[in-house]
Every structure is written in structure tokens, then in C-alpha cells.
Amino acid sequence: MKIKLADLAIRYGCTLKGDPDATVDSVSSLRDSSPGAICFLANAGYQHYLKDSKATAIILEEKYAGDAPGNCLITHNPHAVYALIAQELHPAPLAQPGIHASVVVGNDCEIANSCEISAGVILGNRVNVSEGVFLGPNCVIGDGVSIGPYTRLYSNVSCYSDVSIGERCIIHSSAVLGSDGFGIAQDESGWVKVPQIGGVRIGDDVEIGAGTTIDRGAIEDTCLGNDVKIDNQVQIAHNVTIGDHTAIAGQSGIAGSSKIGSRCLLGGQTAIVGHLTIADDVVLMGRSTISHSIKTPGVYSSILPAEEAASWRRILARIKQLDSLAKRIIKLEKQSGPQD
């Protein structure tokens, strides 16, 4: 498929600098581009690759257009425009209607004719699979699960019973939806399991990464809003709720019953303690530890960057002395007289 730059400029509201009749048929990186390709510049750190680009067109902000050697699509949001053009050139795969002979289907399931159900998939009872759904090989779908239109599950996804997934979602391999929350009560003899009888409700346009686990609710449901984006190996505990458009990077963990607002951004390996409330529009830097509720939008961090080990050892020794150091400062202040 070849697309004219003029068409792209109109479709995505860009200013075109260069040849409107030039065509692109693929995407490339800025650094490793070739004729026929379109690429983008969004991270200033890659600006030095601009002048040598061989791409037919580059999507970029106005301020970089002067440095570009050839055609440009100028926009204030090159990353989003690139994403939309890449979606045109590399459209997401469509379900190829059909149910493989090896698929096991329980009782009282409703499966739209337009679904593709791959080899080795096992469906429980009362499963509802809407039009255009793709279920990858060896997925296991529990009783009473409902999967909205055009949602895709890649291979080896496990869906426990009573999970509901919205429209146009993407669930990656080895993700687990609806496993029991970590609900245990202590008595004299040890642990008593607390039955986890809630479900999981996932909105529309949600993406869930490989190996991510989302526990079912203890009583009420664990809920993800619309357009929530979750990376790989994230742990969402029971009764968590996540607001619309929130994005969570890899290996983060959210403990039970915490409520994350809308449009939040969580960096990788973020940890959120249980029973907290995080406001809308909060940004948590990667690896931050959130042990109190956050009521105010803003950026939060407790990142501790690595140092050369000998230097870190000295700092660490001083960290352990901090209380004593502080007391010595107080004593010095007393000796030196009034501190105004």
C-alpha cells in the first residue's frame, strides 16, 4: 500500500513541507531509514540522526523542520501522528472467522460467527464471545466470561470465571485475569482462605501486557476503566479500581483495594500499597513506592539512582548514621547560640 503525503497531511492535520505527491509504503526508525519509508522525531536525543535520514518523509515538530533533509509532516504531536500512520500501513490483524477443530466449547456459549478461535482454546460454560474476537492458541476461558467485539487474546491467556472484557481490548500471552486475590485471615491454627467471590471488569480499548496478573475481587469486582494501558508483568490485586486512560509500565504492583485515578501514568516497577486513593492526573516516576494516598495531581518520586559501589557504600553508611548526625547538628546549634 502506497500513501501520498498530501493525503496523510490532510488526514492528520499536518503541515506538509516538500512533495505532496511523494508516497510512503512503510515505517522506519529515523536512524535506519530508506526511501519509501516514513519516520518520526519525538525525542530530542535522536535529533542528530535527522540530517542523514533517507526516509521519504519525517514527522516532526515545526522547530526541527529546518534541519530535515527532505519531506516533512509538521505537527505538534509527531508520536501520535506516527502511530496513526503506522496503523494505516501496518493494520492490526483481523479475525479469520472459524473455530479450530481442537477447540473445546462448554455448554450455553454464544460465539459470534465472525470470531476466530484458535487451536487448543478451551471455553467453559456460558461464555459469550462477540463479533470479530480473536482467541489465540491454548487460551483458557472460564465459565460466564464475556469478551467484547474485536478484542484479541494472544496465546496462553488464562481467564478465570466471571471476567468481563470490553471492546477492542488486547490481552497478551500468559496474562491471567480473575485469579484469586491474596485474601487470607490468620487464626490460631494458621491461615484461613477468604473466598474470592468477586469478578473482574475490564472496559473498552484496554491493553494488558504479557504475564500481567489481575486478581478477581474479594466480594465486589476488580475494575479497569476504558483506555487503560498496562504493560508486562504488572500485578493488580483484588478490588483495585483504575480510572480511564491510566497507563502502567512494566512490573508495577498495586496492592488490594487501592483506587487509581484517571489519566495517571505509573513508571515501571512502581509499588502502591493497599487501600490507598491516587487522584486523577498523577504521575509516578518509575520505581516509586507509594505508601500514602495522593490527593493532588503532580509528579511523585522516590527513585534512588545507583552510584559507583564504593561511593554508594559511603553514602549508605551515612544514611544509617542520619539520626545521630541530625542530633549532632542540633547540639552544634545549641553550642553556637541562638539561631535567629
Residues 232-261 that bind its own copies (CB under 8 A): 232-233, 235, 237, 244-245, 247, 249-251, 253, 255
Backbone angles phi, psi at 175, to 5 degrees: -65, 150
Stretch that binds its own copies, among 2-10, 48-56, 108-116, 324-332 (CB under 8 A): 324-332
Q: Where are the beta strands (DSSP E) in 166-216?
A: 170-171, 176-179, 184-187, 190-193, 200-202, 207-208, 213-215
Cβ count within 10 A of residue 47: 14
- Angle at which helix 322-335 crosses helix 309-320, to 10 degrees, equals 60
Query: Which of 164/212 has CB closer to its own copies?
Result: 212
The half-sphere exposure of 90 on its side-chain side, counting CA atoms within 13 A, is 8
Stretch that binds its own copies, among 2-10, 50-58, 62-70, 318-326 (CB under 8 A): 318-326
Catalytic site includes residue 90: no
Query: Which of 19/287 has CB closer to its own copies?
Result: 287
- Smallest distance from the beta carbon of 159 to its own copies, in angstroms? 8
Is residue 279 near its own copies by the rule CB under 8 A? no
- Smallest distance from the beta carbon of 94 to its own copies, in angstroms? 14
Strand partners, 271: 253, 289
Site string for its own copies, 65-94 (x = CB under 8 A): ------------x-xx-xxx-xx--x-x--
Query: Which of 167/205 has CB closer to its own copies?
Result: 205
Q: Which is the catalytic residue, given 100, 172, 238, 275?
A: 238
Query: Which of 146/179 has CB closer to its own copies?
Result: 179
Nearest to 288 by CA among 308, 261, 265, 309: 265
Is residue 48 near its own copies by the rule CB under 8 A? no
Kindly identify the residues of this chain, within the stretch 205-224, that bind its own copies according to CB under 8 A: 205, 207, 209-211, 213, 215, 219-220
Which amino acid is located at 152 in the chain? R
d(CA 17, CA 150): 37
Is residue 18 near its own copies by the rule CB under 8 A? no
Kindly identify the residues of this chain, within the stretch 114-173, that bind its own copies according to CB under 8 A: 118-120, 122, 136-138, 140, 142, 154-156, 158, 160, 170, 172-173
Is residue 319 near its own copies by the rule CB under 8 A? yes
- Greatest Cα pair distance in the chain: 88
Alpha helices (H) along 21-171: 62-65, 78-89
Query: Which of 20/84 has CB closer to its own copies?
Result: 84
Q: What is the DSSP letter of 332?
A: H
Q: Between vectors from CA 219 to CA 217 and to CA 223, what angle results, nearest 5°?
A: 40
Q: What residues are annotated to the active site? A: 238
